[in-house]
Amino acid sequence: MFGKSFRFNLLISGLITALLAVSYVSAAAPTPENLTICEGFSNPIGLYDATPVFSWKLPLKTKAQSAYQLVAASTEDLLPEKADLWDSGKVTSSQSAWIPYAGKALNSRQEVFWQIRYWDENGDASKWSKVAQFELGLLENSDWKGRWIRKEIEKVNPNKPAPEIKIITGKSNKAKGKKFVPEYLRRTFAVEGQIVKARLFVTAKGLYEIYINGDKVGHDYMAPGWTPYHARIETLTYDVIDQIRNGKNAIGAIIGEGWYAGDMMAKKFIYPEAKPALLLQLELTMKSGTKMVVTSGKDWKSFNQGPIRYSNIYHGEEYDANMMITDWNTTEYDDSSWSSVVTETIDPKIALVPKRHHAVRTTEELVPVNITEPTPGRYVFDLGQNMVGWPRISLPAEKGAQITIRFAEMLEKDGTLYTANYRSAKSTAYYTAAEDGKFTWHPTFTFFGFRYVEISGTPTGEKPDKSWVTGVVLHSDFKQTGSFKSSHDKLNLLQRNITWGQRGNFLDIPTDCPQRNERLGWTGDAQVFCPTSFFNYDVLSFWMSWLESVREEQTPGGLICHTVPTTGCGAGSPGWGDVGVTAPWDAYVRSGHKAILEENYDMMKKWVAAYEREAKDFIVNRKGYGDWLQPYQQGKGNRADTPMEVIATAYFGRCAAIMSSTARALGNDKDAAYYDKLLANIQNAFSKTFFDDNGRLTTKFQTQTGYLMALGYDLLPLERRAGALAGLLEELDKADGHLRTGFLGTPLIAPVLDRFNQLNKAYGVLFKETYPSWFFSINQGATTMWERWNSYSHTDGFGNAGMNSFNHYAYGAIGQWMYERMAGLAPDPKNPGYKHFFVQPNPSAPLTSASAELETPYGKALSSWKKEGSKLTVNAIVPPNTTATLVVPQSDNTPTVIESDAPCETVKINGRHTLELTPGEYEFSIY
């Protein structure tokens, strides 16, 4: 790859050169910026945590922080000198992220204003930052003064059948299961005096939309989200001061069944009698200092004969414009014909807590790239991208006509929709027009997974155009933090597919798929994809929220459910339940936020203890899903050829290793020593039980996954690793360089080959074009990750429709290796959150360049390389208050001569040359 000697030429911008070459004069350090609270929130209202943590970033001109001072006050005018809540004083520390609050106790609704200043590496103090603030939500059930409300159920004569609610459905698309008609709720109230503050606190059993004086409150959809409703329901807070007026006001709500009361797969075992309900509290503060509170209660009215006739997550939504209620959410509306409401007290066993991660919002809109008419009167709009959300329809209709809107991820050969993979999910929307002319509409309480939209029922002779359909993308409203690009077009498409798969399946919780009658929080998919997700988007709060649900659903015996929130799908499968151990650690390594370990430590211990109780001589034989959907398996079923006792014991060992690291990170040396001993016993038992003295598997089938787990999780002694590697390479050769791995083995294949000096093999597996491979699906037109390696092919058509999602992120776990090893931007577990990180590019054919850029808790980090002939150019960015290690790419003839102009320490680790980097922008030329 390189010659016997090489030279580093360090090229630094003039600004950075000046900083390195010229000593500081006595001056104030630049002002800190990007002040955030908890998991990256900027000036939030309705915050969930009364003991928050604080973070800030140092400006680019600063190299490092030597100390800080943080002040917090109940009013802005007290800062910085008279802070009445907390003054940390000068704290000698380089930490500028996750600083825990240590001031006076904070309470619900409390506003806190705060500032930070720091001392740089030269001891110079910065000016105080701009004032940041946060406001707590309602933290306790006792803060809620209202009651749950829902429509009154009319009493009927038991000798006569109850009146049937009209549900409009297509003849061949009638949804199965119970049919809840969304309810409309409203009341009016009067305000006298000038309002200086207005906060609306709201939640629902089900889903809600809120209106004040005719206008929608907020920009959230599918709110409040999906949690284990028997344990916790999330609440949201809105600033509504601009929507309240002097005099008479009207507040209205629509509630839908959502996840809470809908017929989610197998959920009938969890909430068989669930009924949607609303809980709301509007608090107004007047200039005079008086307060007014409007709550949900008996003074509300209800109605369920509105235009939304049916809405279900699996089956879609039906809207009849003939039943539109004009101005129902305004003061002018006469609600005398509406019913009274039923009220319910707040259950003290179910915690009402502010939502701790971003709500679902619209994040992008897609325009059709093509329109076809495969059968007369049915127009298919191709959005060019498999997406999750709903369409906004704007098209002509005739009075009384029903417009049918169907969805698909793929098309049959004749151009019609392929919907078999949706299974029993009808995934259809209907709109019935009230008058002739054009209408604009979108669904409210559901979402779809689709690329294609079929419209039928439009007036004869109307020619469709692209303005008829707009794809509105929905997912939790996290921001993008990372980007990856390379010289290879298909690799770039793979990265695009990974991110679209993540967006589509991170709709309030991490789901397996977004389109069929499933859409559940499968823990196995989440377990393998977690590290990749942290590079692409700012998902720390997302994971911390979902892991709270994982804790709440853990069984008394320590098992973790296969789906979270649980839907009656069982618990305990190795590789699935292990998410309770692996995800907190993965999140900690990439964020540095120790709270994610502290919150989950007991859950992690209980899961490992369950393994321990079942183990016989440290071998666990537990049933589970196995290496799910392994291609070309020799056995029967979907659980693959690697025995469950190999997988279970391997994960037992992996979890023991993580527990040791977690205990040390939390300062618990006693537990760390215990897990070290446990790991040693598991390693010994695993090696003796499943491998011979030559390092070869002794199981019925030799499998790539068996070898990958043994090597990837460090379960073999050194003397057996060479044999195991040889076994892995033999299995790879038998497959002509293709993978033979499912959900659990696939994330390991490239990292293990790379780690054991088989970089070319790792590249070879990734860049394969034929089945099974990542590029195979791209060659078939994929725009997201697929559930199966062969979900579809141009030659053979569609795979098994019973398990054939075209938006399934699990195999996108390869992204972690692409970012951390191919481009070379990798966190350091010993210094988490990219406080220290590695720039470790791994160039190999067919790539000539690759780049990974990430917004870390400290600022932008970059690892980028480009190969031109014998010259390798490496660019790196090290953000302020961090350090990095450049690991020079390994070559067949390791260089022995280093000439460097870099002001960096040159060292050698494991035969590889490294350079220690301080904050700055770097360019290296390596020959």
Q: Which residues are catalytic?
A: 518, 787
Distances (CA, A) of 730 to 64, 663, 830: 49, 38, 35
The tokens describing 211, both together, are 């209106």
Q: Which amino acid is at 50?
A: A
| Nearest by Cα to 471 from 379, 361, 385, 374 | 385
Q: Which residues contact 476 (CB under 8 A, 6 or more apart)?
A: 357, 358, 359, 360, 361, 506, 507, 508, 542
What is the maximum span of the chain, computed from C-alpha positions, in angstroms? 97
Instruction: Decide the pairing of beta strands 277-286 and 247-256.
Output: unpaired
Segment (H or E) for 590: helix 579-591
Specify whether the CB–CB gap between 753 and 759 falls below 8 A. Answer: yes
Residue tagged 């809908």 (tokens): 262
The tokens describing 631, both together, are 């291609």
Angle between helices 523-536 and 540-553 (to 10 degrees): 160
Instruction: Decide the pairing of beta strands 859-868 and 506-507.
Output: unpaired
Segment (H or E) for 233: strand 232-239
SS3 content of the chain, % helix, strand, coil (to 5): 25, 30, 45
User: DSSP characters for 651-686?
Assistant: HHHHHHHHHHHHHHHTT-HHHHHHHHHHHHHHHHHH
Q: Is 369 exposed, middle or buried (0-12, 13-18, 19+ CB in 10 A)?
A: exposed
Angle between helices 644-665 and 579-591 (to 10 degrees): 40
| Nearest by Cα to 690 from 649, 656, 718, 751 | 649
| Nearest by Cα to 200 from 254, 252, 275 | 252
Phi, psi of 712 (to 5 degrees): -70, -30
Cα 795-799-802 angle, rounded to 5 deg: 165
The Cα 677–Cα 188 span in angstroms is 66
